[in-house]
Structure 1
Amino acid sequence: MRIRKHHLFWPLAMLAALLLFNLIYSPDFFSLQVRGGHLYGSLIDILNFGSPLMLVAIGMTLVIATGGIDLSVGSVVAIAGAMACLTISKGSDQGSLGLVLSAVGLSLVLSLALGLWNGLLVSGVGMQPIIATLILMVAGRGIAQLITSGQIITVTSDSYGYIGSGSLAGLPFSIFLVAAVFAAAGLLTRRTALGLFIEAVGRNPAASRLAGIRSRYVLLAVYLFCGLCAGIAGLILSSNVSSADGNNAGLWYELDAILAVVIGGTSLTGGRFYLTGTVIGALIIQTLTTTIYMIGVPPEITLVVKAFVVLVVCLVQSEAFRQALVRRWKTRHYPAEREAAKHAS
């Protein structure tokens, strides 16, 4: 009973149920193969293709923990990928490691600048987070298309492609990027006072200011970090396909990231947050996407099926919803409790 009350119980149960369904539908779903020193399999694909979403969701978790939200992460993903590919395409030797490193550095600096912009609007100007980030969500998509001139920029760089499709110790390199960002976020928020500051700002901004917490700097930090995470995700996405599409790259990533955060147990009202739960939530969404494609759901209803399953997952996680079901079941099967419920009403 105590295990069921743990905040990770229901996300892990939902992930296990999805994986079990896939195993029943496709008995070789868990099989792994080694080819050329690299691991291949459906589970590896889920980790690899889910890496950008996990990164964006980690950054979104800290923003939501402060009581805010960042709707611009999808646009930042597109901008980062577009800037990196544009820089590489302009070089005389696209395979040059120095050129790739400069392109990556420029994209990450630009992502930090975009995160700083959001942070300044929220903490400095006092604009509502949903409005402040909605501005960049709309304008950022246009900026990405301006960078690419409305075209798909393709690059031929093995060094850049390694970010999204390379392997390290037999595993996709993108997994190690997620692990590094997750570890850094965990250390900063759980081993320092930053995590307490974020939760304090999210629960009661006025009280946190009276307690001496500089909430403006906390807000700036989380939006900067969120922009950085989105930038890294953009590099992974664009390098994986060796191209940048300013119109479609990172499209609706902000909604999937918010869903991952909520599934992971973090409240949209701010306060307590769970980074591990967010990663599990992102894995649930990616596993669900893989499942939908595997069972052959028609493309025109894919989003409907995905939305329905996510709704069921969120309802199952809801303590109030589960208690309401239990009360209804008891009043239907136990007459004494049914009469008591009538008198109470």
Structure 2
Amino acid sequence: MAPEPPTGPTKKKKDSGISGKRILWTVAALVALIIVNVIKDPSFLSIGINHGALNGPLIDVLRNSAPFLLIAVGMTLVVSTAGIDLSVGAVMAVGGAVAMQFLSGAGEGLGSAILAIGLSLVVCAAVGAFNGAWVSLVGLQPFITTLIMMLAGRGIAKVITDGQNVAATNSYVDRMATGAILGIPTAWIFASLLVVLIYVLTRRTALGTQIESVGLNREAARMAGIRPKAILFSVYVISGVLAGAAGLFAVGNVMRVEPTATGLTYEMDAILAVVIGGTSLLGGKFSLSGAYLGALIISLLEETIVWLGIPNAATPAFKAMIVILVCVLQSDLMHKVFARRKRAENGGGKTEKSAAQSTKEALA
């Protein structure tokens, strides 16, 4: 007899509640960052119109969030299978290198833009397939596999560009990254549409449940009729394609690719966005909406660092403090503390406990 599914109705309900609370904290962190910027300069919320396009700090956050949104969603799917993809930054460089190298010879034209984008996504899908094959078919650890590709990807990008920084000109790719539709940044619109597409693919079909099942218990998922190898292979391909799209937006902002710098440290930002969004690195249930908000927080952090005039040397520490604070607020420990305090308040004087007592019991 096949074993029972790894999660029952009760567990699912509990997990959903925790996920909802974590998203609330993520929203609170997003609002808090905006408030900090407003306190520093009230004009942070100002939005103007220039040549038919909206502009302002918040609009810049949306425009610059496109790469973060895409790699965060791809990373979320991989992490939910109890894996990791450390190669997304390098894949961004590969995608950008393919597009810029092609356009440097093809020049202007819609056809050239479509071919460059298509070729870039195909190559990045192949890189994702390489990762997926080693993880799913060979059984190599995701950390090792993608770490190798993180190093090799930069080399591939250098080979494509002959080790040079490559610039190109194409108005269609440029408008995709820097233009606006009805005043709203095109990059954010396209990235959001891709996120919605992934959401529909995972939440309106059985794929999302299968991904979560593989992350929770791979053997139980196999015995329930799910093909774990196919699921693992698929999520790495999706992550590769989304990283390639993120690379297109990143290089499209300047129409120039730097193989050694494009996408650098973005893999860490993707992991941070996933964690901030409430998805556990141990695998299982995932939240695309949480990852979306987490990516916006990372983008807002980048803008906040510039807006507050924080020195470059202190940037990593500032970002680390914000991320740690959000993760602590989302932790099970804090949920237990607040839950115990609420029960104590509802129970009257006999059951009332101090915050210190609640913390001690939660730790126990």
TM-score by length of 2: 0.87
After superposition, residues 15-54 of structure 1 pair within 5 angstroms as 15-54=30-69
Shift of 1:97: 1.6
Shift of 1:4: 10
Alignment partner for residue 86 of structure 2, among 71, 77, 83? Answer: 71
- Paired residues for 1:253-272 under 5 Å: 253-272=266-285
Q: Distance in 2 between matches of 1:334 and 1:236?
A: 52
Decide which of 188, 197, 211 is 1:175's aligned counterpart: 188
For 2:165, the equivalent position in structure 1 comes to 152
**Alignment partner for residue 10 of structure 1, among 25, 32, 37?**
25
- Say whether residues 1:136 and 2:132 are aligned partners: no
CA shift, 1:7, in A, is 3.2
Conservation of the 8 A alpha-carbon contact between 2:213 and 2:284: yes
* Secondary structure, counterpart of 2:22 in structure 1: coil
Give unmatched runs, 5+ long, in structure 1.
Answer: none
Match of 2:244 among 231, 245, 262: 231
- After TM superposition, give the deviation of residue 5 of structure 1 in Å: 5.8
Q: What is the Cα deviation at residue 323 of structure 1?
A: 4.0
Please state how far the C-alpha of 1:6 moved relative to its aligned partner: 2.6
TM-superposed CA distance for 1:128, in Å, is 0.7
Task: For residue 172 of structure 1, report the CA deviation from its aligned partner.
Answer: 1.1
Contact 1:56 1:233 in 2 (8 A): yes
* Partner residue, 2:228: 215
- Please give the alpha-carbon distance, in whole angstroms, between the structure 2 residues aligned to 1:193 and 1:334: 45
Contact preservation (8 Å) 2:63, 2:187: yes
- Percent sequence identity is 45
Q: How does 1:97-112 map to 2 (within 5 A)?
A: 97-112=110-125
1:334: how far off? 6.2
Note the residue ranges of structure 2 that are not aligned, 5 or more in a row: 1-16, 345-351
**Count of residues paired in the alignment:** 334
Q: Specify the SS of the correspondent of 1:29.
A: helix
1:238 is paired with a residue whose SS is helix
| 317-326 vs 27-36, greater mean Cα deviation | 317-326
What residue is the counterpart of 2:349 in the other structure?
Answer: none
Q: What secondary structure does 1:269 align onto?
A: coil
Contact 1:69 1:130 in 2 (8 A): yes
What SS does the corresponding residue of 1:39 show, helix, strand or coil?
strand
Instruction: Find 2:102's aligned residue among 58, 65, 87.
Output: 87
* Kept after mapping to 1: 8 A contact 2:74/2:239: yes
Decide whether the 8 Å contact of 1:148 with 1:245 is kept in 2.
no
4+ residue runs over 3 A deviation: 2-5, 321-328
Q: What code does the residue aligned with 2:104 have?
A: S
Which residue type is aligned with residue 304 of structure 2? T
| Higher mean C-alpha deviation, range 307-316 or range 267-276 | 307-316
Q: Determine the structure 1 residue equivalent to 2:8.
A: none
- Distance in 2 (alpha carbons) for counterparts of 1:319 and 1:261: 17
Q: Does the aligned pair in 2 maintain the 1:32–1:41 contact within 8 Å? A: yes
Distance in 2 separating the partners of 1:320 and 1:31: 38
Q: Deviations over 1:257-314 (max 9, x none)?
A: 0110010000001110000000101111111121111111111111111112211111
CA distance, structure 2, for counterparts of residue 241 and residue 104 of structure 1? 16
C-alpha contact (below 8 Å) 2:19/2:278 kept by paired residues: no
Distance in 2, Cα, partners of 1:235 & 1:198: 27
Does structure 1 residue 242 correspond to structure 2 residue 259?
A: no
State the Cα distance separating 1:240 from its structure 2 match: 0.8
Residues 321, 106 of structure 1: alpha-carbon distance in 2 compared, 3 angstrom cutoff: same
Q: 1:45-89: per-residue Cα shift (whole Å, max 9, x none)?
A: 001111101110011110101111100000000000011000011
Pick the aligned partner of 1:116 from 124, 129, 136.
129
Q: Deviations over 1:130-171 (max 9, x none)?
A: 111111111001111222222211112212211211111211
253-262 or 27-36, which deviates more: 27-36
CA contact (8 A) 1:3 1:9 kept: no
- Contact 1:51/1:175, CA 8 A, preserved across alignment: yes
Cα distance, 1:40–1:194 mapped onto 2, change above 3 Å? same
Moved more, 253-262 or 319-328: 319-328
Distance, in Å, in 1 between the alignment partners of 2:353 and 2:122 is 63
Cα distance in 1 between the residues matched to 2:116 and 2:152? 22
Amino acid at match of 1:84: A
**CA offsets 1:163-190 (integer angstroms, 9 cap, x no match):** 2111112111111211211111111111
Give the match's secondary structure for 1:6. Answer: helix
Q: Report which stretch shifted further, 97-106 or 205-214.
A: 97-106
Which moved further from structure 2: 6-15 or 246-255? 6-15
- Residue 85 of structure 2 aligns with an amino acid whose one-letter code is D
User: 1:241 is paired with a residue of what secondary structure?
Assistant: coil
